[in-house]
Amino acid sequence: MSTTFAVTGGGIVSAAGRGVDVAWESLCKGESFLALDVDPGLSGFAPIASARCAAIDPEELGADRRAARIMGHQTHMLLATVSEAIKKSGKDIGGEETAFFAGMDSVDPEEGDLVSAALSARKEGGVDLDKFYDEGMAQIPPLWPLGMLNAIGFCQVAIQFDLRGENGTFSPGPEAASRALIEAAESLREEKAGVALAAGVSPSVSARSVARYINRGFLPVSGDGQFPRPFSGAGVAALGEGAGVLLIESGKAAAARGAASMGFLRGWGRATALDEGAGLKEAIKDSIGVALGSAGLSPGDVDLVVVHGAGHPDEDEAEAAALLSVFGARRPYALATKGALGHLLGASPIVDLLLALRALGEGVVLPSPGVGEMGQDALEFSDVPVAAEMKRALVLSRGFEGSCAAFCASAA
């Protein structure tokens, strides 16, 4: 069966705003939305640069008021991107023929969720924990813990758009969205669905998410220069908020209904570094090799590479070394998005793929803010928009525990 599928709809929510067009125009200007996060709730951590999304009103997107009350920021972002993708596709989708897969980072409670319980057990200088557990917890709605399951937000979006085909939600990190995209494509390849949505959503930036990613080794414990982020300046770690989704279907089905295609997903590959240090370069190289092989392409066919480029020096060096090994001295055009939008974690590979398709369609190499010297021996980055004829792109993603993925895309 073919591994080439038309991308007939897409949506992005990011700090730039809502819409693929908005993200594209902002990146064309070389804008970066990263800024030192001054949230008092993060005052106990090392300095964090963030690119936060504006609040989204779910009722504006058609969610009923009752559902809107239990939706959090992550679900709002996912709802907005799915809504945009469906509108862009011009296709009346839904029902059992529509597959839906999403990578979603962990959901954290809202700041006010436990306020009434804590106030009922308040004592001078803090909270009486015995009273909190004996009496205060009665103030917490019994279904509140379910709201911490990312599958709940996923289901709310599926209900909203009547998406009843094959489905699944994965967590955490970039590997979750990579898996969602692969599962969506495989559901089409195996003819288990007629159309598929693949989505990814970042965490909301909060004290809980920052603490979680410090524990994962993704963010620095202190402001002593650990894990410097070249794209965010002076050793400051960077997180972004956002979501992305693309709608894929067979090229034949898209042509039959006269759907405009944003481009094509051609192939994909995954590999895992069992030794994250020494083995990461080989895992990145292996994922690229599998992706190119499934697409029937060679390294010489690739015109644009969207790097993962998370800013960890050792990991970025491994990525650059892998690319140099694949492409040699050829140096294809390159793009790094995290200096503009921050690290979107669960949304990262989907957003990067959509921007890669747009770059191929427009024939423009976007600027890569703050990329520094990363990969300059292997790739050709730009500080300004550059017109270039490009037909095929390679999008890289790296998750936790050495998980690597690569995707091949081509112009419409």
Separation between Cα atoms, residue 243 and residue 14, nearest integer Å: 7
For the residues 374-402, what does the mean pLDDT come to?
89
Is residue 309 predicted with pLDDT exceeding 60? yes
Least confident of 9-18, 108-117, 321-330, 381-390: 108-117
What does the block give as tokens for 248? 């894929």
Between residues 46 and 40, the one the model is more confident about: 40
Between residues 157 and 276, the one the model is more confident about: 157
Are 208 and 74 a contacting pair, CB within 8 Å? no
Exposed / middle / buried, residue 239 (Cβ in 10 Å: 0-12, 13-18, 19+): buried
Residue whose entry in the numeric block shows the structure tokens 């004829």: 389
Between residues 291 and 44, the one the model is more confident about: 291
The half-sphere exposure of 94 on its side-chain side, counting CA atoms within 13 A, is 11
pLDDT for 224 equals: 45
For the residues 274-302, what does the mean pLDDT come to?
91
Least confident of 207-211, 283-287, 372-376: 372-376
For the residues 51-70, what does the mean pLDDT come to?
81
Number of other residues whose CB lies within 10 A of the CB of residue 351:
31
Number of other residues whose CB lies within 10 A of the CB of residue 133:
11
Are 84 and 62 a contacting pair, CB within 8 Å? no
Least confident of 16-25, 41-50, 288-297: 41-50
Separation between Cα atoms, residue 207 and residue 209, nearest integer Å: 6
Instruction: Give the three-state DSSP class for 281.
Output: helix
Give CA 65 to chain center in angstroms: 28
What does the block give as tokens for 76? 């709002």
Between residues 235 and 407, the one the model is more confident about: 407
Beta bridge partners of 12: 244
Average pLDDT, the chain: 86
Separation between Cα atoms, residue 371 and residue 31, nearest integer Å: 13
pLDDT for 296 equals: 95
pLDDT for 289 equals: 96
pTM: 0.89
For the residues 218-230, what does the mean pLDDT come to?
51
For the residues 250-261, what does the mean pLDDT come to?
79
The half-sphere exposure of 266 on its side-chain side, counting CA atoms within 13 A, is 24
Residue whose entry in the numeric block shows the structure tokens 């690119």: 51
pLDDT for 225 equals: 40
Separation between Cα atoms, residue 270 and residue 257, nearest integer Å: 33
Task: Give the type of residue at 184.
Answer: A
The half-sphere exposure of 160 on its side-chain side, counting CA atoms within 13 A, is 28
Is residue 64 predicted with pLDDT exceeding 90? no
What does the block give as tokens for 371? 């990329």
Between residues 361 and 37, the one the model is more confident about: 361
Least confident of 244-253, 345-354, 356-365: 244-253
pLDDT for 171 equals: 85
What does DSSP assign to residue 204? P
pLDDT tens per residue, range 93-147: 888 999 999 998 877 766 666 777 778 888 877 888 888 888 877 777 666 666 6
Separation between Cα atoms, residue 401 and residue 205, nearest integer Å: 22
Whether omega before 332 lies within 30 degrees of 0, making that bond cis, reads no
Handedness of CA 406, 410, 411, 412 (dihedral sign): negative
Number of other residues whose CB lies within 10 A of the CB of residue 405:
29
What does the block give as tokens for 342? 């921050």
What does the block give as tokens for 24? 């594209």
Between residues 88 and 230, the one the model is more confident about: 88
Task: Give the type of residue at 196.
Answer: A
